[in-house]
Structures are given as structure tokens and as C-alpha cells.
């Protein structure tokens, strides 16, 4: 890749990051999760960057090769959860293309060949299994302008194996005040006056967890000027301090039901990170249970084709609840080889939008 090609990529990436800086995702005020505590959590990786690192074609700002054990960490751009051994749940905005002229999100799914799903990992530097993604199903009602119906399914080429485990979905409407736990590899610190700061530092390699209370729909709608639909659920503290952040998009918001945790939401959007009266907004999964089951409980032919928006079912089913994990830190008081391929450039650009982030501090030659 020429110097000018690298310069163009840097310029376009920087421009898109500035355009989207106001609405970002996050784990702020949390703590590292115990190894294996949340085995249903999945990290989505940029495959082209993983390939570049493994081929020795990724170099850092000082011109040194990026170590192979950094590939998963640097390539992670969103979170997700394992619903069945074959199906992964995430946010639509993590897996749709961006308009290269405006930087706006579209309803067009990315090429699944450009994404890997890392299962069974707590630390991005060690362990886990990279799974090939063969299909992306974006909910047909996904509205990128309103961030509504922000949900998508990824079909894996093969069933995920241990130590990964599946998670079950919460049925019904959790009461306001219910303690929920959100997990992810997103930014631990966020300067709301300088949103670009988190692009260059303070992303954890180890999965973070934090407890936040569910917020009443009316309270959240008052904060967001009526933009919160019935397909969304809010969580957080009025004082701020604890929240999800950049890089946590698509990851699970969970509530304990007896001896297990069940997923109630998907990290979607928010105003900054951990700001007072700026609650995190999540996709409410129980509103989409029938649509999800159309795919995950059908054992027939593979669904939809490569990268589709629709409802044709496919894959395997039968997830089991997530075993009880380590509780969060809330106290209740305050709550390859040839460089970057141009056909994958939209994947990299879109990975910087909203609550997703591509934290790579290097480039491919």
C-alpha cells in the first residue's frame, strides 16, 4: 500500500470519527470480570486486520510489527452474545455499511466474510476461538436515523464449542430499578469534551462488567426528548459515573433471574458516556423474541443468504441459560497478508460509528 493510500484511509477514518463523536457506547466505572464469568459474551473482530497482523503486515506508529497476540484486541470493534451454538446476537449498527460520502449508517449488511466472532474469551490477548461468520441478518425494521430496532443476528459457519456457553433471553418488561449488568471491552474512560481521546487509549484487554439500574421509560424519554421507543430500554444513574462506552456496542445487558443471568438488552446508543441524566439506551430484546426464534429455532436450510435483511430462517437452536457470573461493581449509591482490501474499507469505516469503535493504532502496509 502506498503512502498516499495510507494517508487517504487515515483522513477518511478521522473524518467519520469526528462526525459520529456525539453518540457513543461504553463500560465506565466497572471492574474486570473474572475469567469465564460471562461465557456467552462474544467479541466481533475485523478479519482483514487479524489477517494483516498474522501475516506480519500490520505495523504500529513507530514502524514496528504488531505482535500476534495483539490481533484480537486491536481488531475488536463491537460486542455480541451467543444465543445458540450457531447464532450470535448483536446491534444492527455494528454490522451494516456506512455511506462513504456522508458517513451515515445504512440498512445494508456488511460482507460477513469481513467479520470474525471470538467466542469463549475473557482476555482478548489470550484464549477464545475465532468463528467464521457466514450470514448477517439485520432486522427489517432497523431505522438508522432513529436508532430503532437496532438488532441483528450473525450465523456461524460451525457450532461454537466450550468454553463458550449460550444465553437465554429475558421474557417480559423488567421493572424500573432492577439491577442489570452490562459487559464489554469498550473504553474505561471517556472525556466527553474530547470524544476522540478514547480512540488512542484506555481500552481494556480483559472484559469489563458494571451494574446499572433499569430506568423507567418515561424518565428516559424525558431526557431524550421523546426519542425512546417501545423497542428500547434504558439503564444507568441520574448522576452518571457508570455506563457502557465506545466499543461496547452490540454487547449484552443482563438481569439475574434466580440462579442465572438472562439478556434484557443490547448496547445501542447514548449521549456521551456516563454523563448525568444521559442514560445508556439498549435494544429491548423481548420485543424481538419471535423474530429471533424464526432463525434460532429452525433447523432447516441456512437462512437468508450472505448478508441479508429479511426473515428467512436457518441454523440450529436450543440455547441454555448463562450460569451465574461474577456481579458487577455497582454500589447502588451512584449508582490477509496483502494489506487492506478496498472492498473491506466500508467495514472498517462503519466500525467507527456510534457505539462501536475500531481501536487499531496501526496500519497495514
**Catalytically annotated residues:** 93, 150, 249
Show the cell assigned to 325: 457470573
Residue 226: partners with Cβ closer than 8 Å, 6 or more residues away: none
The DSSP string of 182-215 is: EEES--S---TT-GGGGGTS---SBPEEEEEEEE
Integer Rg of the chain from CA? 19
For the chain, the distance separating the N- and C-terminal CA atoms, rounded to the nearest angstrom, is: 5
How many angstroms separate the CA atoms of 126 and 69, rounded? 7
Could you tell me which residues are beta bridge partners of residue 180? 212, 255
How many other β-carbons are positioned within 10 Å of the β-carbon of residue 11? 10
Check if the beta carbon of residue 105 is closer than 8 Å to that of residue 68.
no
How many angstroms separate the CA atoms of 163 and 119, rounded? 8
How many angstroms separate the CA atoms of 335 and 325, rounded? 20
Check if the beta carbon of residue 68 is closer than 8 Å to that of residue 53.
yes
Distances in whole angstroms, Cα of residue 356 to Cα of each of 64, 93, 151, 240, 353: 26, 8, 14, 20, 6
Could you tell me which residues are beta bridge partners of residue 78? 44
Cα angle 80-82-76, degrees, rounded to a multiple of 5: 35
| Nearest in space to 32 (alpha carbons), one of 328, 330, 356 | 328
Show the cell assigned to 314: 436457518
Amino acid at each position: 500500500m502506498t503512502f498516499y493510500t495510507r494517508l487517504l484511509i487515515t483522513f477518511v477514518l478521522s473524518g467519520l470519527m469526528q462526525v459520529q463523536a456525539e453518540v457513543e457506547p461504553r463500560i465506565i466505572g466497572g471492574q474486570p470480570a473474572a475469567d469465564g464469568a460471562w461465557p456467552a459474551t462474544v467479541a466481533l473482530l475485523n478479519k482483514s486486520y487479524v489477517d494483516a497482523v498474522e501475516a506480519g503486515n500490520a505495523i504500529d506508529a513507530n514502524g514496528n510489527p504488531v505482535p500476534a497476540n495483539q490481533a484480537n484486541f486491536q481488531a475488536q470493534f463491537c460486542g455480541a452474545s451467543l444465543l445458540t451454538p450457531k447464532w450470535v446476537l448483536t446491534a444492527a449498527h455494528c454490522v451494516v455499511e456506512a455511506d462513504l460520502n456522508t458517513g451515515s449508517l445504512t440498512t445494508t449488511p456488511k460482507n460477513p466474510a469481513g467479520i470474525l466472532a471470538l467466542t469463549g474469551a475473557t482476555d482478548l490477548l489470550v484464549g477464545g476461538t475465532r468463528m467464521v461468520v457466514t450470514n448477517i441478518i439485520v432486522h427489517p425494521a432497523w431505522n438508522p436515523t432513529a436508532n430503532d430496532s437496532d438488532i441483528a443476528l450473525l450465523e456461524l459457519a460451525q457450532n461454537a464449542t466450550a468454553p463458550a456457553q449460550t444465553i437465554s433471553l429475558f421474557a417480559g418488561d423488567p421493572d424500573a430499578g432492577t439491577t442489570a449488568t452490562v459487559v464489554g471491552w469498550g473504553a474505561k474512560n471517556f472525556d466527553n469534551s474530547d470524544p476522540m481521546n478514547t480512540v488512542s487509549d484506555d481500552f481494556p484487554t480483559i472484559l469489563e462488567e458494571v451494574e446499572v439500574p433499569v430506568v423507567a421509560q418515561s424518565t428516559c424519554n424525558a431526557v431524550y426528548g421523546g426519542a425512546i421507543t417501545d423497542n428500547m430500554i434504558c439503564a444507568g444513574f441520574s448522576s452518571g459515573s457508570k455506563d457502557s462506552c465506545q466499543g461496547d456496542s452490540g454487547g449484552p445487558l443482563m438481569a439475574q433471574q434466580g440462579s442465572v443471568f438472562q439478556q434484557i438488552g443490547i448496547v445501542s446508543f447514548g449521549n456521551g458516556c456516563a454523563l448525568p441524566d444521559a442514560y445508556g439506551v439498549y435494544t429491548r430484546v423481548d420485543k424481538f423474541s419471535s423474530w429471533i426464534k424464526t432463525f434460532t429455532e429452525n433447523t432447516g436450510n441456512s437462512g437468508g443468504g450472505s448478508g441479508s435483511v429479511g426473515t428467512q430462517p436457518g441454523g440450529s437452536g436450543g440455547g441454555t441459560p448463562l450460569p451465574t457470573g461474577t456481579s458487577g461493581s455497582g454500589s447502588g449509591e451512584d449508582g490477509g497478508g496483502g494489506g487492506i482490501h478496498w472492498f473491506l474499507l466500508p467495514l472498517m469505516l462503519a466500525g467507527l460509528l456510534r457505539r462501536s469503535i475500531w481501536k487499531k493504532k496501526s496500519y497495514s502496509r
